[in-house]
Amino acid sequence: MSQYVLVVKEDCETCRLLASLTKRLIDELDITIYSQDNPEFPAGVPVIDDTELEYSFNHRLETVPTLLKFENESGLTELERTEGWDRNEWQRLTGLNFLEDLPAFRPGCGSKTLDPGMLDQLAVKFGSADLEARRLAIEDGEDEIEACYDRGWSDGLPLVPPTELRVVKMLQGTRRAPSEIIGNVPPDYAPCSVLKVAVNAVMAGCKPEYMPVVLAAVEAALLDEFCMHGLLATTYFSGPMVVVNGPISRAIGMNSKGNALGQGNRANATIGRALQLVIRNVGGGKPQGVDRAALGNPGKYTFCFAEDETNSCWDSYSVEKGFDSQDSTVTLFAADGVQGIVDQKSRTPESLCRSFAAGLRVASHPKMVMAADAFLVITPEHERVFRDAEWSKTRVKAELESLLQIDGAELVMGAGGIAEGLPDKFADKVVPKFRAGGLNIVRAGGGAGMFSAIIAGWGASGSMGSVPVTVKVGH
Separation of alpha carbons 385 and 391, rounded Å: 9
**Same-domain check for residues 284 and 420:** yes
Residue type, 31: I
- Residue 340 in any domain: the answer is yes
Q: Which residues share a beta bridge with 183?
A: 192
Domain boundary among 82, 114, 146: 114
Structural domain containing residue 268: 224-472
- Examine the domain organization and report whether 108 and 238 are in the same domain: no
The string of pLDDT tens digits covering residues 260-269 is 999 999 999 9
Cα separation, 239 vs 293, in Å, equals 9
Question: Is 433 within a domain?
Answer: yes
Distance of alpha carbon 134 from the chain centroid: 23
Is 292 a member of any domain? Answer: yes
Confirm whether 130 is domain-assigned.
Answer: no
- 271 and 408 co-located in one domain: yes
Residue 66 lies in a domain: yes
The one-letter code for the residue type at 312 is S
Interacting residues of 252 by C-beta distance below 8 A, sequence separation 6+: 207, 209, 210, 213, 267
- Do 236 and 356 fall into the same domain? yes
Give the total residue count for the chain.
475
**What is the reported pTM?**
0.81
Looking at the fold, whether 232 and 85 belong to one and the same domain comes out as no
Q: Rounded to whole angstroms, how far apart are CA atoms 8 and 33?
A: 8
Number of domains in the chain: 2
Label residue 337 left, alpha or beta by phi (over 0 means left) and psi (-120 to 50 means alpha). Answer: beta
List the CATH number of the domain containing 73: 3.40.30.10
User: Using CA atoms, how far apart are residues 364 and 361, in angstroms rounded to an integer?
Assistant: 9
Per-residue pLDDT of the chain (475 residues; tens, 9 = 90+): 689 999 999 999 999 999 989 999 999 999 999 999 999 999 999 999 999 999 999 999 999 999 999 986 555 789 999 999 999 999 999 999 876 678 999 999 999 999 998 988 888 788 655 666 666 777 777 899 999 999 999 999 999 999 988 999 999 999 999 999 999 999 999 999 999 999 999 999 999 999 999 999 999 999 999 999 999 999 999 999 999 999 999 999 999 999 999 999 999 999 999 999 999 999 999 999 999 999 999 999 999 999 999 989 999 999 999 999 999 999 999 999 999 999 999 999 999 999 999 999 999 999 999 989 999 999 999 999 999 999 999 999 999 999 999 999 999 999 999 999 999 999 999 999 999 999 999 999 999 999 999 999 997 766 567 899 999 999 8
| Position 399 in a domain | yes
Contacts 24+ apart (CB under 8 A), 172-179: 172/120, 172/208, 173/207, 173/208, 173/209, 173/210, 173/211, 173/212, 174/198, 174/211, 174/212, 174/215, 174/475, 175/475, 176/215, 176/474, 176/475, 177/130, 178/129, 178/130, 178/131, 178/132, 179/130, 179/132
Quote the longest CA-to-CA distance of the chain.
104
**Residue 210 counted as domain residue:** no
Q: How many CB atoms lie within 10 A of CB 139?
A: 6
What residues does 34 pair with on adjacent strands? 7, 48
Q: Which amino acid is at 188?
A: D
Domain boundary among 114, 149, 178: 114
Average pLDDT, the chain: 93
Sign of the CA dihedral running 385, 390, 394, 397: negative
Of 114, 134, 166, which one is at a domain's C-terminal end? 114
Do residues 210 and 192 make contact, with C-beta atoms less than 8 angstroms apart? no
Amino acid at 267: A
149 found inside a domain:
no
Confidence at residue 237, expressed as pLDDT on a 0 to 100 scale: 93
Name the nearest CA neighbour of 113 among 49, 210, 167, 36.
36
Domain match, 268 and 393 both: yes
- Alpha carbon separation from 212 to 177, 295, 376 (Å, rounded): 12, 31, 26
C-alpha span between 138 and 153 (Å, rounded): 15
Torsion angle of C-alpha atoms 171, 177, 182, 188, degrees rounded to 10? 70
